[in-house]
Structure 1
């Protein structure tokens, strides 16, 4: 079966199934991709959060510094959301802990712990695209150790096939996957990026001890799927090595650069 060029770029050279896909677009709207986190103790972070009685939380604080909350964010990078929340609360970013990183182009709900923050302080903070709901107190800061997994609800739009064809292809694909025992645990675009799959290239340069090359790939290697303006400024930096000019030219949306 034909493997797309962008899949080959991240090392996916074969597919587990031979049935053609159904095409379509995911994440057309942030609301098309819902992620809700689950912890090993059964706690589920829901985007439709049921409010805890805040008075109960205020009256039953335990001997811990960690307030456990559900963070709901819409169309926001995880780290930028944490940074904004930390600023609003007057904390360091490291005082806010998460169990797992969630998608940017999505509506996501996840557990976080806030160190030495009261319910009253939290109620004073208002940040666009972010909601924080206190649900209790935790004996320590949260970490990936407590993460069980995520539940997804995904809408696929612009599928150019009949309902019959869609059902038939999905059924055949599921049948093929059952025969091999499930879905192979490939590292795919979620780890490498879709518009700009460079993470593995940066990592390879770091492993080889070439930090300058790693930095240049991260900053200046243009990819055909990203914003045209970003491609232009990256190519200029790649060709000239003029970092002062790049600092002026790079769009502000390239936060990490």
Structure 2
């Protein structure tokens, strides 16, 4: 358990304070759709899955080199329904091959055949129905496959995986929740809770980050947002409050959820500060739960957030503080 020295600047920004071991592989790993594969694991039994009929159509989405929101925009355009009516259980990295599932009320679709998409970066297939609208609790996990072409590091990789399997890792929310090229999703969420539309607009439109493309930085400095989808939509609305509400609805409260996730990461840090790894196995509430104040009170003071304001925006679910991979292999 090694605090304080953050391995990467993104760890600091996202609140990822602790890591398990100093061991690392002596190789260069650049994440891409060829070497990083992720697939959602759904509790199909408890959502009433059927290939015959149900209340919600299930789409299997296989995407490469596009983020989840771009995938949803493609599907929305194809079937002519708003993105907010396409229900997903999580976000998947842009630089990956990702298999995830979307759920649409069947009464919104006239012809199921219209749901099929087979393009270079996205394949969409209808695989069946569910009886209920799935919730986060029905996402039982994700299956990750990482391809590292460095056979000399096999033994070290095995040692690291053994340590992770035996001791586990803090169940942090990772980079994808906050953004990699622009790691500010949680910052935007905080400004919403504070009621600071002015700071939200400045962060969304003007703030720049080192991993952004040069063209993106130039466009932000010049106030040119034609190729920045959400920035364009926000900036073209003359009423900032209305623009913010529209954007939040479109993204299903992504910004608020990201800030909740950031606070949860800080909570795990606090638990490890006081108890080490030993207390992580418990399930802890997200900030939106009615019994969460005792967990987050001191963190909210540092964040300058009033608890009664926070719970007006945030949702409640519980998350285990310790992550251990199931059936890992190398």
Q: Do the aligned residues in 1 keep the contact of 2:19 with 2:169 (CA within 8 Å)?
A: no
The whole-number CA distance in structure 2 between the counterparts of 1:21 and 1:207 is: 41
| Alpha-carbon displacement from aligned partner over 1:98-132 (angstroms, at most 9, x marks no partner) | 23222222222122223333433335x55552222
| Alpha-carbon displacement from aligned partner over 1:194-241 (angstroms, at most 9, x marks no partner) | 22222233233333332211221122111112212222333x2xxxxx
Aligned to 1:121: 114
Aligned to 1:10: 14
- TM-score normalised over the length of structure 2: 0.57
Return the structure number with greater relative CO, CA threshold 8 A, min gap 6.
Answer: 1
Q: Is the counterpart of residue 250 in structure 1 residue 193 in structure 2?
A: no
Larger radius of gyration: 1
Q: Do the aligned residues in 2 keep the contact of 1:100 with 1:143 (CA within 8 Å)?
A: no
Q: How does 1:128-207 map to 2 (within 5 A)?
A: 128-156=120-148, 163-164=151-152, 166-174=153-161, 176-177=163-164, 181-207=167-193
Q: Do the aligned residues in 2 keep the contact of 1:205 with 1:214 (CA within 8 Å)?
A: yes
Aligned to 2:312: none
C-alpha spacing 1:176/1:147, structure 2 compared with 1 (3 Å): closer
The whole-number CA distance in structure 1 between the counterparts of 2:17 and 2:100 is: 33
RMSD between superposed Cα atoms in Å: 3.0
Aligned to 1:54: none
Aligned to 2:93: 103
C-alpha spacing 1:205/1:89, structure 2 compared with 1 (3 Å): closer
Q: Which runs of 5+ in 1 are unaligned?
A: 44-56, 237-244
C-alpha spacing 1:130/1:168, structure 2 compared with 1 (3 Å): closer
The whole-number CA distance in structure 2 between the counterparts of 1:11 and 1:120 is: 44
Runs of 4+ in 1 over 6 A off after TM superposition: none
Q: Secondary structure at the match of 1:31?
A: coil
